[in-house]
Amino acid sequence: MPNQITLTVSTGTPPYNIYVCDITNTYCYFATTFGGGTITFDSPSPLGYTTPILIKIVDSLNCETFELYQCVPTQTPTLTPTVTPTPTGPCTCCCIEVSSNNSSGGTFTYTDCFGNVFNDVFVPPYSTVYYCGSNVTNLVNAALNYGSPCVNGTCIPPTPTPTLTPTITSLPCISYSLFLPNTSFDDALVSFDPCCDNPPPIGYMPYSPFILERGNTPTFICSTTYPIVLTGPNPIITVIGTCPCPTPTPTPTVAGYTMTQVRANNNAQSCWTVVNDYVYNLTSWINSHPGGSGAILFLCGTDGTNAFKAQHENQSRPAIRLDGYKLGPLNK
């Protein structure tokens, strides 16, 4: 049966959302929500039988704390001695460092410190993952390094050795599609490294982090790193290719933008508006607006302050999204 975890929480502000993460805190999965005290729950798939793992506790103020969970299996006595395979690597519980330096990512197989075999472990594009164990095999589009022995079930990444090999000064700007099915239990908060100058291509998410809503059409991003889910369920992520970054928007003068400039950008190909004396480029938001494209097209080339307040005043989420499209102040 899966790991049964008993957790006692007495700090922070309830209620608490509980997540189970791999030991490197790269992948986290929602487990349960409770109001405090002591609770026992099963570790969610795919970490149901994995150990050691991290328990992430997020209170109602989004404050995070972590606890290490490590289940040491009870050895079953036997009259017949078994032959233990010789581990591949410097030790049976070493820090395994596996890197991928391409846009499609890589995979590998390894044996953890308790003898469990994990097949086809995914390495995100242009990323490095760390695990505790040995016997790394079936490397696909990935490079392996063994580090020092793990301490208390924790992999301590090795300190990079200086090298004369030229370092990469910039990473490629990759286009990704993210989709969260309507069957998911919640929306997801996703972080990425934007790599297009403002604005990004039309229809692409312009800021990070952002809320990926379940059941909506796919969201597109341009990023130098693989997207990271901060909270919520994992979406379906597809690598599309090199991002079609547009020509950057001209920077404003010290005095800001004029209303004449705003009126000139009054269509779906270039849609500017004014809200509370700031100029915003809403071109890439037209087709992503949950209320339909018509509401945004109505604002193109105008002062949309009254319209925005009438629809979204005192609402934090629309204000946060709007801020991602800001060009600069309006020169009156």
For the chain, domain boundaries: 4-69, 94-149, 174-242, 259-329
Measured between alpha carbons, how far is 321 from 210 in angstroms, rounded to an integer? 8
Residues 114-166: pLDDT tens digits? 888 999 989 888 888 888 888 999 999 999 988 888 877 676 555 556 656 55
- Which CATH architecture describes the domain 259-329? Roll (3.10)
What are the residue ranges of helices labelled H in the chain? 259-264, 293-297, 305-312, 316-323
Model pLDDT, residue 265: 94
Confidence of residue 303 (pLDDT cuts 50, 70, 90): very high
Which candidate, 295, 253, 247, 238, places its Cα nearest to that of 271?
295
Determine the straight-line distance between the first and last CA of the chain, rounded to whole angstroms.
68
Residues 237-296: pLDDT tens digits? 888 888 877 765 555 554 689 999 999 999 999 999 999 999 999 998 888 888 888 889
Can you give the pTM of this predicted structure?
0.30
Confidence of residue 83 (pLDDT cuts 50, 70, 90): very low
Measured between alpha carbons, how far is 64 from 223 in angstroms, rounded to an integer? 26
